[in-house]
Structure 1
Amino acid sequence: MTYSYLLYVTVFGAAVVTYLWLRDARIFYRTGYPGYRKAAYYGVFYTALSLTGVLFALRGEELISLILVLIAIFFQGRIEKEKDKIWSKTSTMTDRILGNVNIRK
């Protein structure tokens, strides 16, 4: 069975959603900020939604799969987080991508 290129787009989108969830969970574990706690909890649901999209893509329903993944990415980005407390102007792009933050005691 041949798959459309939209399957690969859907899988990449699901990987992005999963990565953002794990990064938010790591930041919450290290800082304890409530915005990242909410993002980590909701990230579980959004990851499940995007993986459901991957299952639809494997069945050949590419449009439904892309809609599910885009909904997950959209709502995951709308959660308010304490970004100004975590990163400053001296933070590098690598720090932001990996979620490197100082451990708050």
Structure 2
Amino acid sequence: MVELNLINLYIGIGIFAYIAILYLTYRDMRIFRRTGYFSYRKGAFKGIIASTLVLLGTFLIPSVSDILGLALIFVGLMINQKGKREQVFTNANAFDRFLGKTDIVRTPEEIKEDYLKQQEELEKKKKKR
């Protein structure tokens, strides 16, 4: 009986982690869409991978091993750690930050120009090696 309660608790932890990662991933996608900053795109990709691991871990808890499932959840959370990001919130309040509304909105032309500059910098770094 006690073990069943622990398994339910572990599943709850996994579901909470999954929902949190999906929220952060959605927020990163929204910020990338508005600003074009590629660090947010990278964060969204990491979030998709992390959410897959967390969901797999949540499914493994009752069927295979609770320790293995919790380990996968932990690895997923570690993959989803915050990386280096550009400053996109200047005057936004807490609710706007929560929703991912940014003070910076760039046009597609600005985003393309920034992308081309980044590609040129990467090419220069490759040539130096």
Same fold, judged at TM 0.5 (above): yes
Q: Which amino acid aligns with 2:27?
A: R
Q: Secondary structure at the match of 2:80?
A: helix
Q: Distance in 2 between matches of 1:93 and 1:75?
A: 25
Amino acid at match of 2:75: I
Q: Which TM-score applies when normalising by structure 2?
A: 0.69
| Cα displacement string for residues 49-78 of structure 1 (whole angstroms, at most 9, x for unaligned residues) | 111111112325222222222222222124
- Aligned positions, number: 101
Q: CA RMSD in A?
A: 1.8
The residue aligned with 1:44 is 48
| Distance in structure 1 (CA, Å) of the matches to 2:40 and 2:72 | 23
Matched residue, 2:38? 34
Please report how far the alpha carbon of residue 8 of structure 1 lies from its aligned counterpart in structure 2 after TM superposition: 0.7
2: CA distance, partners of 1:96 / 1:71: 26
Structure 2 runs not aligned, ≥5 long: 108-129
Sequence identity, in percent?
Answer: 28
Larger radius of gyration: 2
- AA aligned to 1:40 is A
Change (3 A) 1:54 1:87: same
Give the distance between the partners of 1:5 and 1:35, measured in 2 at CA.
34
Q: Structure 1 unaligned segments of length 5 or more: list them.
A: none
- Tell me, yes or no, if the aligned pair for 1:13 and 1:50 is still in contact at 8 Å: yes
In 2, distance between residues paired with 1:7 and 1:60?
13
Letter in 2 for 1:19: Y
1:4 aligns with 2:8: yes
**Which protein has greater RCO, CA pairs closer than 8 Å, 6+ apart?**
1
Q: Please state how far the C-alpha of 1:38 moved relative to its aligned partner.
A: 0.8
Q: Is the 8 A contact 2:40 2:85 kept in 1?
A: yes
Q: What's the CA shift for 1:100?
A: 0.9
Structure 1 pair 60–100 and aligned structure 2 pair: CA distance change class (3 A) = same
TM-score (norm 1): 0.82
